[in-house]
Amino acid sequence: MKTTEEIKKIHQAVISTGNKHKLEEIGAILEDFNLEVLSMKDVNLEGLEIIEDGNTFEENALIKAKAVMERTGKLTLADDSGLEVDVLDNQPGIYSARFSGENATDEKNNAKLLKMLEEVPFEKRTARFVCAMAAVFPNGDTIVLRGECPGVIGFEAKGKSGFGYDPLFIVEEYNQTFAELGEEIKNKISHRARALEKLKKELILRLGSD
């Protein structure tokens, strides 16, 4: 017979991120399940340093999810995301956040990307945002999948919304950057939204829904 604490663990899920935006976005898809969503702070792991030494988005997402599950014994979800530009052999890829070096900022990263694409015509500036989602269960089972949003890198930053490469990333179906479209539209069509939709379907198969 399971103890109260064991039963409680089964109905909890930890989001392995220090990013408030990701916490809210991932947490939102868990609302359909009988789960108590916990942040890193809730499980006393705020500020935990996890070395992401994988070679792919999927590997890094899994590393983050496993590290927290092993410390808490609870279902843990994590993501890793970034930008891939075709003509740059999928750079910046897993190094998207630190593309311009140790003291990278969004502005420096965008400036470096534009510099590298300086002589590249528009039709060859195709790219995609990628998000890998991982879920690790207390019994060791894992789910790892990805979502992608295709687009083109513009010649200059446009728009005030979003973060990272959003001002440069033109979503073809709207002919506007993520930063111009705004959070509401972005969150419906983004790489993370698509990965989360896939994850939701997998979790329904594993956990059922209310």
Q: CA 123 → CA 77, 86, 101, 155, 172, distances in Å?
A: 37, 11, 28, 12, 11
Per-residue pLDDT at 174:
94
Per-residue pLDDT at 209:
61
Per-residue pLDDT at 2:
45
Per-residue pLDDT at 60:
97
Which residues participate in catalysis according to the annotation? Answer: 80
Per-residue pLDDT at 107:
96
Each residue's pLDDT tens digit in the chain (210 positions)? Answer: 445 454 455 578 999 988 887 888 788 878 877 788 999 999 999 989 999 999 999 999 999 999 999 999 999 999 999 999 999 999 999 999 999 998 999 999 999 999 999 999 999 999 999 999 999 999 999 999 999 999 999 999 999 988 899 999 999 889 999 999 988 888 889 998 899 899 989 988 888 765
Q: Given phi > 0 = left and psi -120 to 50 = alpha, else beta, which region is 98?
A: alpha
Residue-range domains of the chain with CATH: 4-207 (3.90.950.10)
Look at the alpha carbons of 161, 162, 168, 174 in this order and tell me if their dihedral is positive or negative.
negative
pLDDT tens by residue, 135-159: 999 999 999 999 999 999 999 999 9
8-state DSSP, 33: S
pLDDT tens by residue, 71-96: 999 999 999 999 999 999 999 999 99
Per-residue pLDDT at 200:
86
Per-residue pLDDT at 21:
76
Numbered residues of the known binding site for Mg(2+): 80
Residues 129 and 57: beta-carbon distance below 8 Å: no
Per-residue pLDDT at 27:
83
Numbered residues of the known binding site: 17-22, 80-81, 163-166, 186, 191-192
Per-residue pLDDT at 29:
75
Distance between CA atoms of 86 and 102, rounded to whole angstroms? 24
Per-residue pLDDT at 184:
84
Distance between CA atoms of 5 and 84, rounded to whole angstroms? 43
